[in-house]
Amino acid sequence: MDWTEILRFSRGPLFHFSLIIFIAGMIYRLVRIIFLGWEKDRVKNQGSKWSGVIISYLKGLIILPFIPWVRRTFRNNALTFIAGGLFHLSLFLVLIFGEAHILVWQSLFGVSWAPLPNPIVDWLAAVGIISLIILLINRLTHPVLRLLTKLPVWINWTLVFLPFVTGYIMYHHLWFPYEVIFSLHLIFVCLLLIWIPFSRMSHFLFYFFSRTIHGARAGKRAVSP
């Protein structure tokens, strides 16, 4: 088996195919959700929906993560909050500001931006991996979570963990020849891309829709409904 050929295949046709599935799948999901139906807005709005949206984003993404103790989620389960938060932060930064990932964005969209220094991205990736492991242990040991966890959740965890850990191994040139681990990294990323639209991982996009809608609703000042 020639891994250079496999690498070429995963960088080329496989990635291409997964992106197409990803785009089609996300649009499909979006359309299905939109067509579920909207509430009719029958009452005159006295407040501002836009300010509601802005406040919702400020609170959810910028203020509350830094004063987490005001949230019940944090007070009840600090571990999930911290590990989950760090994982999301790490994922976002590594994906958007990693040196090699910027080259991917550039090849897809034709634009590039300044990367974060590699050592920082490296530490962030390590943080992401450790958080994922902590979350897994939590899930395995927590009696209630264990009842709630079904197969899709395990698939979610595995398909996020594998690209993370193969990327880390690749960056450090550990154990595997570069072309082997690079191919594996890409194959797992492709599997993830195909899996995202059909799983809860689609929250990476739908989160913003729901936050906008909830924000707008919170900004509305009117007699119910």
Partner 1 sequence: MKEKSIYEHLKEKGLSRRDFIKLCGTIAGMMGLEFAPPVKALGKMVHPDPTEMVAKALSSQPKLPIVWLEFQDCAGCSEAMSRSSSPLLSKLVLNDLAIEYHETLMASAGYQAEKAKEECLKDYYGRYVLVVEGSPTLAEDGIYCTVAGKSNLDLLREAADGAAAIIATGNCASFGGIPKAKPNPTRACGVGEIIKDKPVVNIPGCPAIPEVTTGTILHFLIMGKLPETDHLKRPLVFYGHTVHDHCLRRPFYEAGKFADNFDGDRARKGYCLYHLGCKGPITYNACASLKWERGLSYPVQSGHPCLGCSEPNFWDGGGFYQGQSAALIPPAAKTSALAAGAGLAAGATLAGINSAKKNRAKKALASAAENSPTDSTTAAPPEKKEE
Binding site for partner 1 (CB under 8 A): 1-2, 4-5, 7-8, 11-13, 15-16, 19-21, 23-32, 35-37, 39, 99-101, 103-104, 106-108, 117-119, 177-179, 182
| Complex with partner 1: residue 74 or 182, whichever CB lies closer | 182
Scanning the structure block, which residue is given the tokens 């119910």?
224
| Complex with partner 1: residue 57 or 97, whichever CB lies closer | 97
| Complex with partner 1: residue 39 or 144, whichever CB lies closer | 39
| Complex with partner 1: residue 132 or 186, whichever CB lies closer | 186
In the bound complex, what is the minimum distance in angstroms from residue 129's beta carbon to partner 1?
Answer: 19
In the bound complex, what is the minimum distance in angstroms from residue 74's beta carbon to partner 1?
Answer: 32
In the bound complex, what is the minimum distance in angstroms from residue 35's beta carbon to partner 1?
Answer: 3
In the bound complex, what is the minimum distance in angstroms from residue 47's beta carbon to partner 1?
Answer: 23
In the bound complex, what is the minimum distance in angstroms from residue 15's beta carbon to partner 1?
Answer: 5
| Complex with partner 1: residue 47 or 117, whichever CB lies closer | 117
